[in-house]
Structures are given as C-alpha cells and as structure tokens.
Amino acid sequence: MIKRMILMLILVGLVLGGIFGFDSFRGQMIKKYMASMGGQPQTVAAAKAELHDWQPHLDAVGSLRAVKGADLALEAAGIVDSISFSSGDAVQAGSVLLRLRADDDVARLKALEATAELAEITFNRDQKQLEARAISQAIVDADAANLKNARAQVAQQRAVVEKKILKAPFSGRLGIRAIDLGQYINAGTTVVTLQSLDPIFVDFTLPQQTLSQLAVGQPVSVAIDTFAGQAFAGKIAAINPKVDTGTRNVQVRATLANPDHKLLPGMYAKVSVDTGTAQRLVTLPQTAITFSPYGDTAYLVETQGQDEKGQPKLIAHQTFITTGARRGDQVAVEAGIKDGDMVVIAGQLKLRNGSPIVIDNSVRPSNDANPAPVDK
C-alpha cells in the first residue's frame, strides 16, 4: 500500500514538473519573439509617395463593329458566270462583283425593248395623224396605254437581269470569297462579306448610375490585347435612350479612327471613358496599403536617432489613410500621406507600430497604372 502511494506521488510530480517546465519554456520563447520584434530590424521595401496626374474614368468591355457591314448575296438563283473580285480586295460603292448566267433574261429584255420602241413609234405617228384629224382620240389613247405597258415590261425585265448582278452597296474591304466560278447558288447564298473599316464602332455597356457622367462627344480610350501597350482614341457617338431592364445597363457606342485597318469587327476591347477633369493625387502601390473594415493603413518610414555605427535608425510608423480610386496596381490616397513621404510598400505584414526596419529594394512590387500579363 505504501509503495503504491509513493509511486503515485512520483508520477504526479513528473506531470506537474512537465507542465510547469513547458510553461516556463513557452514564456521564454514568447519573450525572445517579442524581443526580436522590438530589437531586430525587419527588412522591407520602401518608396516615396509621388503626385501623379489622375484622370477619373469609367471602365468597360466591349466589341468592335463595322460602321457598315454586310454579308452580300443575290436575290436570284443561278450559275456563276463571272467573278470580278479577289478575297480581301478594297472596293468602291457600285463596283460589280459577280454575275450569274442570264442569257435568256437578257434576250427577253431586248425583245421587250424592241416592242417598247415599236409602241413609241406607233404612238408618235398616231399623234400626228390625230392633229390632221385622220384618226380618233381613242386610237391615240390606246397607243399611249400600249406604250406605258411596254415600258413597264422592260423595266420589270431589266430588274430581273439586275438581280443576277452583285454590286458593292458601299465602299469597304471584302472578306474571303465563299463561291466559285460555274457553281450553282440559291437565292440568299452568301457570296462574300463586305466591311467598312474606317471609322469603326466600339459597342459597350455601363451601369445606369453612370448616365449622368456620359455625353455624346466624350473622349474614350480603347485597348486591344492584339496590340499590347497601344491605345486607340475615340469619342462617344451615341447613347442608347433605353436602359436594359434585365441588367440595368445602358448601351454606349463610340467611334474610332482606323486608317490602317488594324481594328477588325468582332474584336474584344477594353474601353476607358474619361469623366471630369484630371487631378494631381498622391499614389501608392496597392501592396503598400493594408485594407481593413476598420480603416485602411500604411506604414511611414521615419528616422529615430542613430545606431551604434552612426547610421540613421529607421522605424515604421503606422498611420490611417483615406484611399480613392484605383487603376491597375495603383491606389489614389486622398488623406494621410503627403507627396515625398517614404512608405513601406512590401514586408509590412511582419511590422508593428515602432518596429525598426532596414530598407532593401532589390525586389519591388509592381506599380503600373496599366499592367498587362507577360508571356514567357
């Protein structure tokens, strides 16, 4: 019995010793961590806050559309007799592009034209005889009716012949030919597409809340991923007078100059609409700001005395800021930071107010107003 009690006391002593020993060890580790936070400088990247021109704008995505564009087709069926264009040609309005075989129709047209000429001769002759009172007015009236009927038949047949001739309805650039010589095509078969490329439209939508900021003639800037780093300028040409009830968005159309025909209908476009006047605002990389529901903060770099080597001792001072609009990697700062302030832009997650720091800018976060992915 006594041996059991001694054994239990030894076990309890070991357990309690382990607990108190672990607490002591944990306390020492926490003290060392706090000492390192307060004493060992943390490496960060820093940069000066600078004033930049900041143009308020609205961003949207849209698609390019030709000012004039059509898939050309004929109203009549028939066999392709001649083709007067090549794929990709630039053509003028009224240029003949294609003819269907129309020998029978042309022959009938000539016969009707001959009939109309005879009717006109008869009418003119009978008019002279009427003046000489050689025939009655009824005969002249019948001649006039016959002439009108003959001319109407000529016009009708000429329209039939014209339906077998394809002409460019406007000036532009042709696409890829979809038919071949000698091929039989039905009415409505697409022969080729025709697009007028200069100028060109860009259609996009914006929320209804932005309507008060939009006006016809307002400048826009368009970016196409095909031409990285290049912006195409244009102006708003029209604003739809109706808001879509499903999305509460309004459709907007802008016109872009396209003299080199670089821009093609159907291209995806990023649209930026300038609103208001340009401002001079302090900007920072987004990485410099800690966003929080309780307020946005940043760390200012301040000098506090000198170290043992006589070098300035730098510390991080946390401050609340008021942020504004964003563009790319940048954020506009409306209050809390002045032009020229040195701000921590990377490494602030390991800082607390008053932490000593060392600046190392060998690796800096991006600070591009118009970032683009880099293909590697």
Position 251 scores a pLDDT of: 92
Under DSSP, the state recorded for 315 is: E
Is pLDDT at 19 greater than 50 in this prediction?
no
Digit-coded pLDDT (tens) for 41-57:
888 888 888 787 777 77
Q: Quote the CA–CA distance of 106 and 117 in Å, as a whole number.
A: 16
Average pLDDT on 152-159 reads: 88
From 4-8, 198-202, 237-241, 350-354, the region with the lowest mean pLDDT: 4-8
Burial 52-85 (b: 16+ CB within 10 A, else e): bebebbbebebebebbebbebbbebebebeebeb
Per CATH, which fold does 40-54+279-359 belong to? 2.40.420
pLDDT recorded at residue 33: 46
CA dihedral sign of residues 299, 300, 305, 311 = positive
Residue 82 has pLDDT above 90, yes or no: no
- Any residues with CB less than 8 A from the CB of 136 and at least 6 apart, and which? 130
Question: Which spans in 41-136 are helix H?
Answer: 103-131
Average pLDDT of span 100-118: 86
Q: How far is CA 214 from the centre of its chain?
A: 17
Per the CB < 8 A criterion, the answer to whether 345 and 284 are in contact is: yes
* pLDDT class of 372 with cuts at 50, 70, 90: low
pLDDT for 253 equals 93
Q: Are 262 and 277 in contact (CB under 8 A)?
A: no
Comparing 18 with 246, the larger pLDDT belongs to 246
Of residues 299 and 132, the one with the higher pLDDT is 299
- Domain boundaries 57-101+164-276, CATH class: mainly beta
Domains of the chain, by residue range, sit at 40-54+279-359, 57-101+164-276
Tell me what percent of the residues of the chain surpass a pLDDT of 70. Answer: 84
Question: What is the rounded average pLDDT for all residues in the chain?
Answer: 80
**DSSP secondary-structure letter at 276?**
S
| Same-fold call for 40-54+279-359 versus 57-101+164-276 | no
- Asked whether residue 280 carries a pLDDT value surpassing 90, the answer given is no
Instruction: Give the pTM.
Output: 0.57
